[in-house]
Amino acid sequence: MFSQGGNEATWLPPILPQHVAIIMDGNGRWAESRGKLRMTGHKAGAKAVRKAVRFAANQHIKALTLYAFSSENWRRPLQEVTALMELFIWALESEVKSLHKNNVRLRVIGDISGFNQKIQSRIAKAEQLTAGNDGLTLNIAANYGGRWDVVHGVKQLAEQVKKGVLQPEDITEDRLHSHLCLADLPPVDLVIRTGGEYRISNFLIWQVAYAELYFSPVLWPDFDEQEFQGALDAFSQRERRFGGVVSNET
């Protein structure tokens, strides 16, 4: 990126997002296009996750949030849901040591009470092991829905009002935000969706209010470092106003 200063062009480093969120779409279609079972696509998608995490860490991005399993995904065929749960357990067991070694903090956001005790135990152990790491924060959204997140936060505020420790007029955007997932992290700057679809699908609907959106036609298993870099390059060219105007506008 270049800036014109006087008669000379000055090189400026590209602007990187602090927090990237990805809707990983296309695993099933990737497998079906190859005449394979959908679960094959999910396994290939897990490899793409590994690449994305490594790339984000190398780029010194502070937080990466991945939409792994939505609250609506329970509607999928039982065989696929069961296989996804087994893959989730495998990933927690096989990847967490590598994440810890590379100073990555792992967190799972969503209604984890919907998972069985084995998965909940694995999640707790993985989060505890990596809790002290100060590199990339990797958030896995599992059994997560943006509407659930907001309702869950509102219920916590309602309990405080019920107990008399909070008055309704004291409820503000900031106070509600403090009860939502990811409240302690930088705001989401960039949302990437793969697979050629153009929607948010109930993902972080509060947190992405001012995020830049990037839609890629690439199916998630084929989303590699080059594709990720393309999204970052596009982000660096965006002019973010946050509802205002830039200085040269009237």
Residues annotated as catalytic are 25, 73
Does residue 200 contact residue 23 with C-beta atoms inside 8 Å?
Answer: yes
CB within 8 Å of 87: residues ≥ 6 apart? 39, 42, 43, 46
Nearest to 223 by CA among 16, 39, 56, 17: 56
Contact status, residue 233 vs residue 212, Cβ threshold 8 Å: no
**Which two structure tokens, joined as six digits, stand for 21?**
């969120």
For residue 131, give every residue at least 6 positions away whose Cβ sits within 8 Å of its Cβ, in sequence order, or none: 105
111 vs 141: CA distance, rounded Å: 9
Helices (H), the chain: 27-32, 38-58, 78-101, 117-130, 146-162, 173-177, 225-236
List the one residue out of 153, 144, 138 whose CA is nearest residue 67. 144
- Joined together, the tokens standing for residue 249 give 């506008």
Both tokens of residue 75? 């509607």
